[in-house]
Structure 1
Amino acid sequence: MILTQCAVCATDLGLTLGKKCGRCATRYCGPECQVQHWKEGGHDKICKQIKKAGGAEQYNANQKYAEAVTVAAEACAEDTKGQTCYICTQAVHWKTKEGLVRMCACRGTSGFAHVSCLAERAKILYAEAEENNLAGKAVDQRWVRWHTCSLCEQQYHGVVFCALGWACWKTYLGRPETEQVRHAAMQVLGSGLYAAKRHEDAMVVQEADLSMKRRVGESDHNILAAMSNLAATYAAVGDLEKAINMERGIYSGRLKLEGEDDPQTLIAANNYTFSLTERKRFEEAKSLLRRTVPVARRVLGDSDEITLKMRWGYAEALCGDPNATLDDVREAVTTLDETTRIARRVLGASHPLLGITEPCLQEARRVLHVREARGAPQGS
Structure 2
Amino acid sequence: MCACRGTAGFAHVSCLAEQAKILVAEAEENNLDDKPFNERWVRWLNCSLCEQRYHGVVWCALGWACWKTYLGRPEWDWARRGAMSVLGNALFDVERYEDALSVQEAELSMARRLDASEEHILVVRSNLASTYEVLGRDEEALVLRRDVHSRRVNRDGEEHTTTLIAANNYALSLMHLQRYQEAKSLLRRTLPVARRVLGDDDETTLRLRWYFAGGVVEDPASTLDDLREAVATLVEIERTARRVLGGAHPTTTGIEHRLRLARAALRARETLSGKS
Give TM-score, length-normalised by structure 2: 0.96
The root-mean-square deviation of aligned C-alpha atoms, in Å, is: 1.3
Identify unmatched segments of 5+ residues in structure 1: 1-102
SS in 2 for 1:358: helix
What's the counterpart of residue 110 of structure 1? Answer: 8
Q: Residues 296 and 307 of structure 1 are in contact (CA less than 8 Å); yes or no, is this contact kept in structure 2?
A: yes
**In structure 2, C-alpha distance between the alignment counterparts of 1:167 and 1:260, rounded to whole Å:** 36
**In structure 2, C-alpha distance between the alignment counterparts of 1:168 and 1:296, rounded to whole Å:** 32
Identity %: 60
**In structure 2, C-alpha distance between the alignment counterparts of 1:132 and 1:345, rounded to whole Å:** 39
SS in 1 for 2:7: coil
Identify unmatched segments of 5+ residues in structure 2: none
**In structure 2, C-alpha distance between the alignment counterparts of 1:372 and 1:229, rounded to whole Å:** 39
| Deviations, residues 167-201 of structure 1 (Å, cap 9, x unaligned) | 11111112222222211111000010001110000
**Does residue 1:295 correspond to 2:161, yes or no?**
no
Give how far 1:374 is off.
Answer: 4.7
**Does residue 1:208 correspond to 2:106, yes or no?**
yes
> Where do residues 1-380 of structure 1 align in structure 2 (5 Å cutoff)?
103-375=1-273
Give how far 1:338 is off.
Answer: 1.4
Amino acid in the other structure paired with 1:367: A
Q: Residues 111 and 151 of structure 1 are in contact (CA less than 8 Å); yes or no, is this contact kept in structure 2?
A: no
**In structure 2, C-alpha distance between the alignment counterparts of 1:151 and 1:129, rounded to whole Å:** 20
Give how far 1:273 is off.
Answer: 0.8
**In structure 2, C-alpha distance between the alignment counterparts of 1:301 and 1:173, rounded to whole Å:** 39
Larger Cα Rg: Structure 1 or Structure 2? 1
Give how far 1:206 is off.
Answer: 0.5
**In structure 2, C-alpha distance between the alignment counterparts of 1:137 and 1:332, rounded to whole Å:** 40
**In structure 2, C-alpha distance between the alignment counterparts of 1:140 and 1:160, rounded to whole Å:** 20
**In structure 1, C-alpha distance between the alignment counterparts of 2:269 and 2:102, rounded to whole Å:** 45
Give how far 1:327 is off.
Answer: 2.1
Give how far 1:265 is off.
Answer: 1.0
Amino acid in the other structure paired with 1:143: W
Larger CA deviation: 367-376 vs 211-220? 367-376
Larger CA deviation: 318-327 vs 173-182? 173-182
Higher RCO (CA < 8 A, seq sep 6+): 2
**In structure 1, C-alpha distance between the alignment counterparts of 2:134 and 2:49, rounded to whole Å:** 30
Aligned pair count reads 274
SS in 1 for 2:116: coil
Give how far 1:136 is off.
Answer: 2.4
**In structure 2, C-alpha distance between the alignment counterparts of 1:340 and 1:137, rounded to whole Å:** 33
Structure 2 CA distance for partners of 1:273 and 1:125, relative to 1, 3 Å? same
